[in-house]
């Protein structure tokens, strides 16, 4: 009896501990009306599209706000067998680089295109952090339309932040490395001598979105982290956060955290344009890929380019200026007026806010404390507007609302801190669960923030969701910021690791001329088939081209004979449907590739190398009608050298 009692006490104690283990405040943070604020009734639309980086998935995901519902994962830098991205013959060129075909990358940041400092709903840009690239996603099709590789770069982290009219998106190298045309076979310990930074300015055609690597600026060998454009009065400037001003090449955790201050680098890109015009740029031989999606032929076109224009910041003294910024700054964010630049030193205990007017005055009066790698360093006080004292631990990134408030994420203390940009006073703070990275306020990087919500993208989810083994879902948290106090209203899981994200009002995207079908009349694919009568199978040596169509619910031709082991078979499939939301899929047994998903009016090609004799079924993989299960066919594969004639048919059983 006594042991029983003891056991009871022990159990009670254990359960008490279990309860108290839960992080403080995680339940209290939710108030009664949270659910109704995040609720979007079935059939209703969300208020915002949220374009979220897919991190190490390499993709970009699209959520609705405030519901947190996932609408689409847009394949960008990684292959996606579900959609055939990187598997169909047409999409393979999009993932080509100077290193050949690269099936994966790490997409960190999202940037929406702008006009006059406001979102225009045309394109979203994403960066590849590993093999340095920038992608442009067309928001009429939600497809990757263009990918450009960046020479002289390694780890394109400080990217793809854009200017006020998307004149440029930038790409600052995270790793400084020897330039591509230098001898890179050098001891790593010669970092200070041989390693250089490069930041790329990619011009964007305002009408078509076409990207071009306009120029690069060569800088001292620091690490570039994030960037933000100047806006309104500071239009024409770009601000980059830099760390590793120690120029360490090993154990950066310690060795790149020694200096009290690293830098924000202010770049006068209008001035850089002048130098470019005046012929001051070096032509540097490099090799980089430029891949463009052609809408008319439904095909990616891969080109290798061989030259880039480079401006040297140390030689051309008035393009770049360093501003000291405490302790390894990550965020480097400009408020809607363009006057205030917030540095978020992730190891600092304060947030410096710099004044654009003061920076300009300091440059005019040459208030420099020293030079770093040939670049003037402005005196800290000469550029400083003020400091937010004790905002929290590990400030990372800041976004803005339209009412003069800034929201800064605190990685170490896991919170969002709201503060007044003018008087630099903290007015509110809320916990995040846990270790928040970037924040997003819809339009929070523009002249006209839409406000309403702030979303925290977290690095750790721990106990927030049902356990799923060692690997847990990634996560975001949605806060209502329409009142004085921030209010947590929703947790939602995300794919990959969500770094930065941006959000657009529903109407801006929904009414941008969304494409519903590809018009079959406009299809210029070299292997398009526009009618049943044109379906055919053509042999060219060991290459066999199958001109195939799909429509509810049959494949034509669906009986194919005369294929031989060793052949290279190309199924060029045109979806003849002209109705929204009626894709067909295609797969053939044993093919060493993924399925195809073919949108209405589109032509897509699957390559198949039949490896053995037999009958190989093929079928439609995307449910299309009540007779979807009947949408199938057969390929007969005969031995190499067999004399079975080429034969194809649909609809009548004929013995060949």
Partner 1 sequence: MNYKLFFGTVVCVALMSCGGKTETTGASNESGNTTTTTSHNPNEYDPKRGLGKFTEENVIVDAALNKEMATRGEVSANTKCISCHKLTDERLVGPGWKDVTKRHAAHWILNFITNPDPMIDKDPQLQAQLEICLVRMPNQNLTDDEARDIYEFMRKNDGIN
SS3 content of the chain, % helix, strand, coil (to 5): 10, 45, 45
Cβ of residue 235: shortest distance to partner 1, in angstroms? 37
Altogether, the residues listed in the chain come to a count of 656
| Strand-pair partners of 495 | none
| Strand-pair partners of 417 | 408, 429
Structure tokens, 538 = 């053509």
Alpha carbon distance 196, 173 (integer Å): 9
Alpha carbon distance 244, 252 (integer Å): 8
520 counts as binding partner 1 under rule CB under 8 A: yes
Contacting partner 1 within 117-146 (CB under 8 A): none
Q: Which stretch binds partner 1 (CB under 8 A): 58-66, 248-256, 478-486, 622-630?
A: 622-630
Contacting partner 1 within 139-178 (CB under 8 A): none
| Strand-pair partners of 435 | none
| Strand-pair partners of 137 | 124, 144
517 counts as binding partner 1 under rule CB under 8 A: yes
Among 381, 423, 579, 611, binds partner 1 (CB under 8 A): 579
Are the C-beta atoms of 112 and 48 separated by less than 8 Å? no
651 counts as binding partner 1 under rule CB under 8 A: yes
- CA trace torsion 370, 374, 375, 378 (10° rounding): 10
Q: Which stretch binds partner 1 (CB under 8 A): 129-137, 467-475, 538-546, 624-632?
A: 624-632
Closer to partner 1 by CB, 223 or 556: give it: 556
Q: What are the angstrom distances between the C-alpha of 460 and each of 129, 435, 465, 487?
A: 21, 6, 11, 20
552 counts as binding partner 1 under rule CB under 8 A: yes
Are the C-beta atoms of 103 and 80 separated by less than 8 Å? no
Cβ of residue 595: shortest distance to partner 1, in angstroms? 21
- Of 185, 186, 231, 469, the closest CA to residue 340 belongs to 231
From residue 17 to residue 46, the character string flagging contacts with partner 1 as x (rule: CB under 8 A) and all else as - is --------------------------x---
Alpha carbon distance 217, 196 (integer Å): 10
Secondary structure of residue 384 in the 3-state scheme: strand
Q: Which stretch binds partner 1 (CB under 8 A): 206-214, 359-367, 378-386, 513-521?
A: 513-521
Are the C-beta atoms of 514 and 570 separated by less than 8 Å? no
Sign of the C-alpha dihedral, residues 46, 48, 51, 57? negative
Q: Which stretch binds partner 1 (CB under 8 A): 133-141, 171-179, 492-500, 530-538?
A: 530-538
549 counts as binding partner 1 under rule CB under 8 A: yes
Alpha helices in 294-383, H assignment, sequence order: 356-364, 380-383
Q: Which stretch binds partner 1 (CB under 8 A): 143-151, 195-203, 427-435, 545-553?
A: 545-553
627 counts as binding partner 1 under rule CB under 8 A: yes
Closer to partner 1 by CB, 361 or 519: give it: 519
486 counts as binding partner 1 under rule CB under 8 A: no
531 counts as binding partner 1 under rule CB under 8 A: yes
Cβ of residue 629: shortest distance to partner 1, in angstroms? 11
Among 556, 559, 593, 605, binds partner 1 (CB under 8 A): 556
Among 530, 589, 607, 649, binds partner 1 (CB under 8 A): 530
Interacting residue ranges for partner 1, rule: CB under 8 A: 43, 516-517, 519-520, 530-533, 549, 551-554, 556, 576-580, 582, 625-627, 651
């Amino acid at each position: 009896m006594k042991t029983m009692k003891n056991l009871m006490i022990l159990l009670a104690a254990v359960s008490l501990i279990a309860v108290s283990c839960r992080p403080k405040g995680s339940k209290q943070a939710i108030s009664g009306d949270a659910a109704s604020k995040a609720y979007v009734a079935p059939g209703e639309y969300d208020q915002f599209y949220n374009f979220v980086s897919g991190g190490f998935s390499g993709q970009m995901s699209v959520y609705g706000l405030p519901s947190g519902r996932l609408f689409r994962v847009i394949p960008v830098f990684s292959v996606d067998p579900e959609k055939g991205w990187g598997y169909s013959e047409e999409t393979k060129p999009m993932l080509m680089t100077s290193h050949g075909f690269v099936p994966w990358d790490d997409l960190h940041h999202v940037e929406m295109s702008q006009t006059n400092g406001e979102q225009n709903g045309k394109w979203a840009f994403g960066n590849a952090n590993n093999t340095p690239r920038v992608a442009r996603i067309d928001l009429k099709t939600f497809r990757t339309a263009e990918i450009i590789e960046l020479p002289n770069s390694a780890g394109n982290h400080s990217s793809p932040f854009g200017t006020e009219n998307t004149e440029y998106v930038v790409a600052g190298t995270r790793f400084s490395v020897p330039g591509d045309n230098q001898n890179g076979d050098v001891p790593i310990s010669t970092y200070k001598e041989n390693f250089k930074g490069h930041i790329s300015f990619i011009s964007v055609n305002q009408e078509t979105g076409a990207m071009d690597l306009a120029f690069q600026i060569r800088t001292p060998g620091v690490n570039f982290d994030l960037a933000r454009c100047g806006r309104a009065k500071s239009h024409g400037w770009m601000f980059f956060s830099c760390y590793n001003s120690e120029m360490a090449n090993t154990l950066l955790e310690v060795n790149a955290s020694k200096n009290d201050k690293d830098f924000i680098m202010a770049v006068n890109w209008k001035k850089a344009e002048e130098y470019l015009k005046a012929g001051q740029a070096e032509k540097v031989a490099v090799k980089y890929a430029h891949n463009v999606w052609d809408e008319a032929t439904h095909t990616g076109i891969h080109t290798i380019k061989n030259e880039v224009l480079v401006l040297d910041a140390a030689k051309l003294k008035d393009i770049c200026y360093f501003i000291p910024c405490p302790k390894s700054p990550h965020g480097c964010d400009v408020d809607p007026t363009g006057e205030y630049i917030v540095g978020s030193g992730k190891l600092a205990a304060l947030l410096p806010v710099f004044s654009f007017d003061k920076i300009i005055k300091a440059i005019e009066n040459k208030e420099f404390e020293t030079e770093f790698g040939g670049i003037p360093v402005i005196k800290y006080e000469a550029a400083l507007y003020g400091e937010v004292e004790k905002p929290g631990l590990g400030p990372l990134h800041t976004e803005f609302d339209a009412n003069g408030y800034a929201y800064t994420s605190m990685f170490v203390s896991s919170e969002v801190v709201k503060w007044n940009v003018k008087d630099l006073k903290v007015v509110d703070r809320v916990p995040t669960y846990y270790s928040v990275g970037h924040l997003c306020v819809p339009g929070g990087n523009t002249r006209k923030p839409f406000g309403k919500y702030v979303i925290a993208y977290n690095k750790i989810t721990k106990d927030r969701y049902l356990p799923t083994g060692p690997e847990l879902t990634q996560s975001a948290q949605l806060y209502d910021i329409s009142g004085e106090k921030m209010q947590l209203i929703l947790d939602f899981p995300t794919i990959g690791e969500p770094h930065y994200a941006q959000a657009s009002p529903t109407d801006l995207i929904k009414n941008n001329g969304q494409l519903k079908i590809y018009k079959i009349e406009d299809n210029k694919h070299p292997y398009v088939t526009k009618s049943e009568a044109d379906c055919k199978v053509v042999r060219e040596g060991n290459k066999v081209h199958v001109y195939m169509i799909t429509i509810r619910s049959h494949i034509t031709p669906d009986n194919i004979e005369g294929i031989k082991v060793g052949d290279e078979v190309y199924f060029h499939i045109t979806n003849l449907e002209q109705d929204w939301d009626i894709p067909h899929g295609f797969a053939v047994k044993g093919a060493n590739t993924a399925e195809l998903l073919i949108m209405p009016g589109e032509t897509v090609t699957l390559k198949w190398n039949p490896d053995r004799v037999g009958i190989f079924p093929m079928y439609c993989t995307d449910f299309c009608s009540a007779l979807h299960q009947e949408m199938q066919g057969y390929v007969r594969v005969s031995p190499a050298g067999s004399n079975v004639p080429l034969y194809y048919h649909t609809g009548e059983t004929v013995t060949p």
